[in-house]
Each structure stands twice: as structure tokens, then as C-alpha cells.
Amino acid sequence: MQFSRDAIIDHIRHVHAGGLVEEAVFSGRFDVQALTLPGTVLVLAGALSGAEPLPHPIGLGDLGRFLRALEKMTSDESDVTLSLDVDAGRIALGTSYGGALSFRTLLPETVGTQILPETVAAIWSGVAGAASIPLTQTLAQGILRSIPVVDASVVTICARPSRSWIVVGSESRSFHRFPFPFHQLPVVEPFDVTLEARQFATLLQQIRDFGQSELLVSGPDGCLALREGSYRYVVSPVEIDRPAIVWPIRSGPSAGSTRESSDGDASQAPDEEERDDE
């Protein structure tokens, strides 16, 4: 089987998801449906462009090593050749240095990230009906740069009917708050979606083509998904025991009317609002 080198490297990189998925079952034209352990991220990868159909599903382990082999042992100017030996249970990678690297394949039933189609459908239903927000490079870089600066453990998307934010970090410690373009969508009831910061950052780093990338944000009982073309990551929110984040709004003559009274105490004193915004 021959593949475009860039295409297969990009495919394995998306499936590997920065190390969140170290083993996966490949089927069809290298399609993947993998649930990370302990089941917090669903990784969905469509068919690899130009791939021949596999004779049957195969498992591959140590995807990080396989990805490094593709990057370091093949030439930028050539296609990649893979040979699947079904009887021996191996897949061989032809290298630009001569010979071939051999990797053992796994029985699909032994792969820990394997997931039933009905479970995939159940997880995807949590975001399938959610409206989308374009995932811009500016937004992604803002989150990625803020996480180490404030040593954030969580990232919270706060969706409100009037305006919305992303909060990187905790309101009880250091945090970075900046606008989230949720005004493009109808938000009837306020809700927060809180994600594990390092995991979310790892997934954001997989996105390269922002021209076809988006965020799907459902309500508080759903999930968040990142999509780049045929690659999708569905992220389960973090369960934390705290009330919804409330941010006072002071700007403009209608400042008092834009704050959702159901989210906090409408009688908060002006000087308290000043301290919160500092």
C-alpha cells in the first residue's frame, strides 16, 4: 500500500492526539473510532485519503513510535509504502534508508481504546445538535498561551444570552478571562462547560487548518467537540462542585440590565463589582 507521506503522517498525528491515544483499531480505509482511557475523549478519524481498504480491522499499538518512524525514517520527497502481513501479524514500513521497519499488529479485541458503534453514537449525540463556533488561530493561541502562564488546571466556557467568556484558570487563583464569540448563537439559559486544561490544550495543538475548524458547544449536560475536517474530538466536561461563574458587567448604560439576575445577586454593591473586575 502506498500513501502520500504528508497525508499518513497527518492522519496518525490526529489519531495519536498528542499522546492521548497510544493504541487504536484501524478499519476500512484507516478509519478510527477510539475512546481514551479513562474515557474522557472520543477520537473520530475519517478515511485516509488515497488509502486502500484494509482486509479486516487491525490494531496498532505505540502510535507515538509509529509516528516518529514515519517522520524520521521516510523521505520528504517520496510516498510511504506499508506492507501488511496478516499471517505474521505485522505491518512493515519501507524506509528511505533501505529495508523496512516492522511493527506488530494487535488483535482488535485487545485494544483498550476500542469502542462499540452504539457507544460512539451515544457520545456524539451530546454535541451532534449543538451549534458551532469557528475555531480561529487567535482563539486557540490565546488559550494555549494562557494555560502555562496562570498554571491553569481548568478552562471554562461561560455562555450567557448577552455575552460569553472563556476563563482559563480558577476564579479563586490566577486566571485569564477573554471574550468568547458565543453571541453568534442563541443562548436561552446560561451555562458553563469546564474542561481539563492540559487535555484541552493537547487537543487544540492538533489543529492545523483553522479554515475548516470549529468548536461545537452543547449545554451543561453535554460535551464540547473540536472538529477539523474529518477529524473530531469529543471532550467530556470536568465535574466540579461550584456554582456557575458570574462576571459583573459595568460598561454601557444598560449594564445593570445585561447581568443575568439568575446567575448571581442583583443587589451586589457597586464597589464589590469594581473589585471583581480589577
Whole-angstrom distance, CA of residue 190 vs CA of residue 154: 19
- State the Cα–Cα distance between residues 278 and 272, nearest whole angstrom: 10
Write down the pLDDT at residue 22.
Answer: 96
Q: Which residues contact 67 (CB under 8 A, 6 or more apart)?
A: 9, 12, 13, 16
Q: Which residues pair with 194 in a beta bridge?
A: 156
Non-local (6+) Cβ contacts of 198 within 8 A are: 147, 153
Output 189 or 262, whichever has higher pLDDT. 189
| Domains assigned to the chain | 2-115 (3.10.150.10), 129-258 (3.10.150.10)
The pLDDT score that the predictor gives to residue 246 is 54
What three-state secondary structure class fits 15?
A: helix
pLDDT at 50: 85
What predicted TM-score, i.e. pTM, was given to this entire model?
0.82
Question: Is the preceding peptide bond at 38 cis, omega within 30 degrees of 0?
Answer: yes
Question: What pLDDT does 186 receive?
Answer: 62
pLDDT at 48: 93
How much is the pLDDT for 187?
A: 64
- Surface-to-core class of residue 160, CB atoms within 10 Å of its CB (0-12 exposed, 13-18 middle, 19+ buried): buried
> Residue 229 burial by CB count (10 A; 0-12/13-18/19+): exposed, middle or buried?
middle
Write out pLDDT tens, residues 185-239: 666 678 888 999 999 999 999 999 999 999 988 876 668 999 999 999 999 888 7
pLDDT at position 277: 43
Q: Which residue has the cell 460598561?
A: 251
Q: What is the mean pLDDT of the chain?
A: 83
Mean pLDDT of 36-61: 91
In what order do the strands lie in the sheet containing 231-235? 2-3, 80-85, 90-94, 100-106, 58-60, 24-27, 31-35, 41-45, 231-235, 224-228, 213-217, 132-134
β pairing state of 90-94 and 41-45: unpaired
How confident is the model over 67-107, as pLDDT tens digits? Answer: 999 999 999 888 999 999 988 899 999 999 889 999 999 99
pLDDT at 269 (0 to 100): 36
Cell numbers linked to 100: 523496512
Q: Between 272 and 144, name the one with better pLDDT.
A: 144
For the segment 110-141, what is each residue's pLDDT rounded down to a tens digit?
999 999 999 999 988 888 778 788 899 999 99
The whole-number pLDDT of residue 23 equals: 96
pLDDT digits (tens, 9 = 90+) for 11-43: 999 999 999 999 999 999 999 999 997 889 999
Helix (H, G, I), strand (E, B) or coil at 194: strand
Angstrom CA distances, 134 to 72, 73, 189, 226, 235, stand at 34, 36, 21, 10, 17
